[in-house]
Amino acid sequence: MAIILFVGFVAFVLWLSFYLGARTRTSNAYYAAGGQIHWGVNGIAFAGDYLSAASFLGICGMIATVGYDGFLYSIGYLAGWIVALFVVAEAMKRLGKYTFTDALDAKFDSRGIKLAAAISTLIISIFYLIPQMVGAGVLVEPLLGLAHHWGVLIVGAVVITIVATAGMTSTTYVQFIKGGLLIIFSTVLVISVLGRGFTTKPDQGGKVQYYEYASMPAEMSGGQLTVTEPGWDVVEIEEVGVTKTKIARFALLDNGGARTWWELEKKPTGLLLQETQSVIVTPDGQKTINGSPASDGNQLRQIGNVEILRGEKMAPSGRMTPFSFLAGMSDPNTTIRRWQNAKFTDESENAVTVYFPVLTTGNKFMRPGLKFKVEGSPIEKLDFISLMLALFCGTAALPHILIRYYTVPDPASARKSTIVAIAAIGFFYILTLFMGLGAMMNGVVPPADNNMAAPLLARSFTELLFAVISAIAFATILGTVSGLIVAASGAVAHDLADRYMGISMSDQTKVKVGKIAALVVGAFAIVLGIVFKGMNVSFLVGLAFAVAASANLPSIIMLLFWKKTTAKGITASIFTGIVSALVLIALSPDLFKQFGLDPTTAPIPFTNPGIISIPLSFTVLVVVSLMTQKKDEEDAEAEAA
């Protein structure tokens, strides 16, 4: 069913592209859909562009594992649209032709701005492309049973075909269809969650038996750990730092030859061994999961459940209202079983990953603090502010969002389509809270990759819903990647080749160059999608927002509101924003961790660069503009002469 739906959807998208491609003759039609898209269609297409893999897969997965902190992304992403509506929308439409560079450069006609803005568009688009392609790979594994790289290749090939055939017109209609379907079927999924009712022993509608994790007492005497239960022998004990302040102890136990890792906890009643899930990879590549060789039938169990609901061990069943659902989750007498992981190398040089449960009360789960340490050190607090700043400022600076303002006929349509987008995206983001919490409560979260939480929540209801949701999730990626590749190809063909290098091109040649650029960028995205397999989708998108907010937003804002802004000021600001954001990201603890380095040795103590790079970019623009006031006027006069 999933395969039929998926193939059917992809075939429809390709047909639409060829159909609309036959009508695309001019660069105006290719890059800006002729500026004739209806604002209502454009508004939903905005939602389609914006609700990428990060929104659907990443946020739901993050809410399922860290609760409210995942919802912070929903809040920040939506709030950013207010900047787009009140400050940027109509002005961008009035100033530009095809690309964000056109708008920035409208007043100056500066080669520096053309180069800087085109490079910025390319870098941000590529940053944003990586998580989409990684998400595609993640999705095809359970959907089609294909390896990660096949998913990336399929998305790449389909998107290149879409973009190379019809450009912005087909991209817009693909986004419109996908955005609409995503919102409709996410609503169906949330209604299904509320209809199923609360459960403390999730069994996925009777499909998967609820697994009770065992615990057993242990004793420590003379530095030797022994298990009270007969038949269990302690092989070794490891101490692992799982956070800056928390050290966990794990014991490898042998039971008749089967070896599993248990978490050793100190309780008021004595020592307790708590069952975990573990993946052990031997130096020669043999993989065991939970004590048995890895196979199709032996994979990590899906996780997440409400342990106690409002003080009751057995949750009452029956329908819930949206309010009673959230009230139940937020209750201090509700206990949620979350999971964390620890990675280490054991005494036999095996690479071990242990997934172990952590109990969190509902009131803590449903407020900021589990992922972002709002009660932590000043640096951790600064990191939180930095993230919220980047999310707020990033939306109005994303190139694939900005180019959508050129597809409508006039500034009023740009405004109205932004309002439709806010309504559609806002509604969807409210749904993410229910989908994420629903995935956790129904125990469908894969421990090693929470990106699949929402599609697997759908599977817990029916295969049909899973197939539809997965096909839409795949289309989500297709649509976003299409928009990004159009933006990137516009930057190459229009901004760099035509306007920066001054290569004289006919209208049709310009379209041809754009299509070749789409092919190259698409191929590059395929390679990156394969190389960056396993990276967290939301993490990467958050960074793309920070780069966009640092590189583009200061220029847009100052151009509109400060008359002394000069071309050199804008150019310097864009380069400063890109370089400072990228350097801060490259030296951050999260990236060190991602590449297997010790995060405590990272020179920059926080992960989100926005708090430094955005003000720095503003400052450079002001300083350079003030320094080049006269120079710019002279240059303009010389050019006029």
| Cβ-based nearer residue to another protein, 238 or 383 | 383
DSSP track, 12-39: HHHHHHHHHHTT--SHHHHHHGGG---H
The answer to whether 466 touches 439, Cβ cutoff 8 Å, is no
The answer to whether 80 touches 394, Cβ cutoff 8 Å, is yes
The answer to whether 13 touches 172, Cβ cutoff 8 Å, is no
The answer to whether 354 touches 341, Cβ cutoff 8 Å, is yes
To the nearest whole angstrom, how small is the minimum distance from the Cβ of residue 97 to another protein?
Answer: 6
| Cβ-based nearer residue to another protein, 419 or 520 | 419
Contacts of 244 (CB under 8 A, 6+ apart): none
The answer to whether 279 touches 300, Cβ cutoff 8 Å, is yes
DSSP track, 552-606: THHHHHHHHH-TT--HHHHHHHHHHHHHHHHHHHHTSHHHHHHTTS-GGG-SSS-
The answer to whether 395 touches 545, Cβ cutoff 8 Å, is yes
Q: Rounded to the nearest 5°, which phi and psi values hold at 360?
A: -130, 135
Residue 175's CB is within 10 A of a number of other CB atoms, namely: 30
| Cβ-based nearer residue to another protein, 148 or 416 | 416
| Cβ-based nearer residue to another protein, 80 or 447 | 80
The answer to whether 199 touches 317, Cβ cutoff 8 Å, is yes
| Cβ-based nearer residue to another protein, 205 or 409 | 409
To the nearest whole angstrom, how small is the minimum distance from the Cβ of residue 167 to another protein?
Answer: 12
To the nearest whole angstrom, how small is the minimum distance from the Cβ of residue 407 to another protein?
Answer: 7
| Cβ-based nearer residue to another protein, 31 or 474 | 31
* CA atoms of 618 and 625, how far apart (whole Å): 11
* CA atoms of 97 and 450, how far apart (whole Å): 41
| Cβ-based nearer residue to another protein, 87 or 146 | 87
| Cβ-based nearer residue to another protein, 328 or 446 | 328
Distances (CA, A) of 396 to 231, 402, 617: 62, 7, 16
To the nearest whole angstrom, how small is the minimum distance from the Cβ of residue 567 to another protein?
Answer: 14
To the nearest whole angstrom, how small is the minimum distance from the Cβ of residue 191 to another protein?
Answer: 18
The answer to whether 588 touches 546, Cβ cutoff 8 Å, is no
DSSP track, 122-183: HHHHHHHHHHHHHHHHHHHHHHH---HHHHHHHHHHHHHHHHHHHTHHHHHHHHHHHHHHHH
432 SS3 class: helix
| Cβ-based nearer residue to another protein, 188 or 430 | 430
| Cβ-based nearer residue to another protein, 35 or 179 | 35
To the nearest whole angstrom, how small is the minimum distance from the Cβ of residue 624 to another protein?
Answer: 23
Structure tokens at 289: 């999961």
To the nearest whole angstrom, how small is the minimum distance from the Cβ of residue 553 to another protein?
Answer: 13
To the nearest whole angstrom, how small is the minimum distance from the Cβ of residue 472 to another protein?
Answer: 22
The answer to whether 364 touches 66, Cβ cutoff 8 Å, is no
To the nearest whole angstrom, how small is the minimum distance from the Cβ of residue 104 to another protein?
Answer: 11
To the nearest whole angstrom, how small is the minimum distance from the Cβ of residue 93 to another protein?
Answer: 7
Which of 621, 577, 615, 583 minimizes the C-alpha distance to 119? 577
To the nearest whole angstrom, how small is the minimum distance from the Cβ of residue 74 to another protein?
Answer: 8
To the nearest whole angstrom, how small is the minimum distance from the Cβ of residue 479 to another protein?
Answer: 21
Structure tokens at 294: 């890895």
Which of 120, 97, 95, 119 minimizes the C-alpha distance to 107? 95
List, edge to edge, every strand of the sheet that includes 351-361: 292-293, 287-289, 277-281, 351-361, 335-345, 305-308
To the nearest whole angstrom, how small is the minimum distance from the Cβ of residue 481 to another protein?
Answer: 23
To the nearest whole angstrom, how small is the minimum distance from the Cβ of residue 487 to another protein?
Answer: 15
CA angle 215, 308, 334 (to 5 degrees): 130
* CA atoms of 446 and 355, how far apart (whole Å): 11
CA neighbours closer than 13 Å in the CB half-sphere of residue 184: 10
| Cβ-based nearer residue to another protein, 148 or 404 | 404
| Rg of the chain, C-alpha, whole Å | 26
| Cβ-based nearer residue to another protein, 88 or 123 | 88
| Cβ-based nearer residue to another protein, 109 or 463 | 109
| Cβ-based nearer residue to another protein, 34 or 202 | 34
To the nearest whole angstrom, how small is the minimum distance from the Cβ of residue 570 to another protein?
Answer: 15
* CA atoms of 120 and 529, how far apart (whole Å): 20
| Cβ-based nearer residue to another protein, 83 or 152 | 83
| Cβ-based nearer residue to another protein, 92 or 129 | 92
Terminal Cα distance for the chain, rounded: 69
CA angle 366, 369, 374 (to 5 degrees): 140
To the nearest whole angstrom, how small is the minimum distance from the Cβ of residue 498 to another protein?
Answer: 8
